[in-house]
Amino acid sequence: VVIVSNRGPLSFRLDANGDLVATRGAGGLVSGIAPLVVDTDTLWIAAAMTDGDRVAARRGRQEARGFNVRTLDLDPDEYRMAYDVVCNSTLWFLHHHLFDLSRRPRFDRPWREAWRAYRSVNLAFAEAVASEAPSGAVVLVQDYHLLLVGAVLAARRPDLRVVHFSHTPFAAPDLFRVLPDDVATVLLEGMAAHVACGFHAERWARNYVDTSEQLLGVVPRTFVSPLAPDPEALAREASSAAVEAAVAELEAEVGERALLVRVDRIELSKNLLRGFLAFEDLLEHHPEWQGRVVFHALVYPSRGALPEYLAYRSEVETVVARINGRWGGDGWTPVVLDQSDDYPRSLAALRRADVLLVNPIRDGLNLVAKEGPLVNEVDGVLCLSPEAGAWEELGTAALRVDPFDVPGTADVLHEALTMAPAARRARAIDLRAHAGARTPRHWLADQIAVAG
């Protein structure tokens, strides 16, 4: 098996002595797939994203922290255009329905340049796979960054069995039409060139099939295979010394108060702003919570090269500062905004959360919604948006939050915070059963089965 994704499991930097130091890559894709691959000889091919990654790429295959990684040193300008403009500003916005259509997208000449870059990055990935993959290998290509790899390999290496998997939602057909016709055609043909295309949820697979049928006249082969955390690896990590220390620190900080938690990238689709506004609405309309609940938001910056993300981050900081200024005092900080991307601290918060808020506008799966219940030890209630792919598995055991309804979300938070212990316990048991029903092995087995 060869795994191919834009972001790899490791991010490299150079220390003062010029040695490479590897840290773990960001986001759901990496944390979901990494446990499958660690300590095996599976090759993972990924783009060099940092200067350290480029040094690693020039030194050849890297073996570190149990991974066998080949990073590709792509032309930095070309890579930036492909990643920032086509992947993150266009395809991510498209599939998450984030466009403000009266202004964006704009398919101007610089965009066309970026589109050429996207095609050339995909070609470079395909070439790397073609030269590295053993004969007859199953190649698992991940996400919207790499939609054209399968088509090149079909011609160059017909012995390979290439499967594509999207960790994002898929746009509704009417929205997909926003793309220029030629671009839409190339992308859909690229996807259709795989043995099959997989998604975390039925909804996204259906959107893809409908889009392909309407725009291309092709009914592609799909499968649905939600990813899940590895319960054993997660339990091990959640009981590490670093997490125990973080739990003690958190407990000292929170004291007798109730603990509301979220863990996310600072990402437009995650709906942080309405989450904080809902918390403020809770403090205002259920005043008994003033001074009695703390909202720990473990959110870390992402895609800082995009103006939309920078603006969103500063809006988040402004709203939180305003809420804390208006409501806080007497040793109580209502919202703790922790942007440190500290994994042990995140696990500690998930362990101790009375309520976990996962309220995305639209989300391929949302692994945190599964990790939370698996490590939580206080029968925490999950407040989950039905727009997360994980809703298909967890919806019956979670409380439903409409991501767009601010007072509605506040009412659900109130319901979660006041739920009777027996009801919390029953839901927690149910949540754990659903969240732990599958492991990453099931996901891998599904890909290999479709690959035939």
Pick out residues in 367-426 that bind ligand G6P (CB under 6 A): none
Pick out residues in 330-369 that bind ligand G6P (CB under 6 A): none
Q: Closest approach of Cβ 65 to ligand G6P, in Å?
A: 18
270 interacts with ligand G6P by CB under 6 A: no
Count how many residues are written for the chain: 452
Region from 23-31, 181-189, 253-261, 390-398 binding ligand G6P, contact rule CB under 6 A: 23-31
Residue 227: phi and psi, rounded to 5, are -75, 160
Nearer to ligand G6P, 7 or 157 (CB): 7
Mark residues 143-172: x for contact with ligand G6P by CB under 6 A, - for none. x-----------------------xx----
Region from 20-28, 195-203, 277-285, 354-362 binding ligand G6P, contact rule CB under 6 A: 20-28
26 interacts with ligand G6P by CB under 6 A: yes
Q: Is the peptide bond before 105 cis (omega within 30 degrees of 0)?
A: yes
Nearer to ligand G6P, 27 or 180 (CB): 27
Q: Closest approach of Cβ 213 to ligand G6P, in Å?
A: 24
Q: Which of 269, 343, 342 is nearest to 312 (CA)?
A: 269
Q: Closest approach of Cβ 345 to ligand G6P, in Å?
A: 19
7 interacts with ligand G6P by CB under 6 A: yes
Half-sphere exposure of 447 (CA within 13 A, CB side): 28
184: its two tokens: 């839409």
How many residues of this chain bind ligand G6P (CB under 6 A)?
11
- Contact (Cβ atoms closer than 8 angstroms) between residue 206 and residue 171: no
59: exposed, middle or buried (Cβ count in 10 Å: 0-12, 13-18, 19+): exposed
The rounded radius of gyration (Å) of the Cα atoms in the chain is 22
Strand-by-strand arrangement of the 62-64 sheet: 62-64, 67-72, 43-47, 2-4, 138-142, 161-166, 197-199, 222-224
Region from 22-30, 101-109, 223-231, 394-402 binding ligand G6P, contact rule CB under 6 A: 22-30
Region from 26-34, 72-80, 209-217, 276-284 binding ligand G6P, contact rule CB under 6 A: 26-34
- 134 CB neighbour count, 10 Å cutoff: 10
Cα–Cα distance for residue pair 24/10, rounded to 1 Å:
5
Residue 8: phi and psi, rounded to 5, are -90, 180
8 interacts with ligand G6P by CB under 6 A: no
Region from 27-35, 103-111, 131-139, 208-216 binding ligand G6P, contact rule CB under 6 A: 27-35
Among 13, 20, 27, 324, binds ligand G6P (CB under 6 A): 27
Q: Which of 148, 89, 87, 79 is nearest to 119 (CA)?
A: 148
384: its two tokens: 């989950």
Among 4, 22, 29, 294, binds ligand G6P (CB under 6 A): 29
307: its two tokens: 């103006």
Among 95, 274, 303, 427, binds ligand G6P (CB under 6 A): 303
Q: Which of 104, 72, 101 is nearest to 85 (CA)?
A: 104
Among 225, 302, 376, 439, binds ligand G6P (CB under 6 A): 302
Alpha helices for 196-288 (secondary structure H): 202-216, 231-238, 241-254, 272-285
Nearer to ligand G6P, 167 or 351 (CB): 167
Nearer to ligand G6P, 335 or 367 (CB): 367
Site residues, ligand G6P (CB under 6 A) = 6-7, 26-29, 143, 167-168, 302-303
